[in-house]
Amino acid sequence: MINLNMAKIQLNGKKITIKQKFSLFNLLQKYKLDKKKIAIELNGSIVTKSMYKKKLIKDNDKIEIVHFIGGG
């Protein structure tokens, strides 16, 4: 059965299901991520931090959240 209240998305290569009308800001809250420490790409385009609350996630969206790790 298709649940119309849920959206299937791909987050960092993993398939997850979230509520409809979930914003990027809500997504960060769900994963306890500090927006100062990450950057987000939505369907291949970078989303500026000021847009996180306005940008709502849609079905089939591909989202990448990145941060800095140790590297040479």
Partner 1 sequence: MSEDKFKIAKTIVKSRLIVGTGKYKNLSETANAIKASEADMVTVAVRRVNILDKKKPLLMDYLDPKKIKYLPNTAGCFNSFEALRTLRLAREMGGWKMVKLEVLGDKKMLYPDMIETLKSTKVLVKEGFKVLVYCTDDPLMAKKLEDAGASAIMPLASPIGSGLGIQNKINLSLIIKQSKVPVIVDAGIGTASDATIAMELGCDGVLINSAIANAKNPILMARSFKNAVISGRQSFLAGRIKKNYFAIPSSPKAGII
> Given the rule CB under 8 A, which residues bind partner 1?
11-14, 16, 31-33, 36-41, 46, 48-49, 64-72
Nearer of residues 5 and 70 to partner 1, judged by Cβ: 70
Nearer to partner 1, 1 or 32 (CB): 32
Identity of the residue, 29 or 60, whose beta carbon is nearer to partner 1 in the bound complex: 29
What is the CA angle 56-53-42, rounded to 5? 50
Q: How far is CA 9 from the centre of its chain?
A: 9
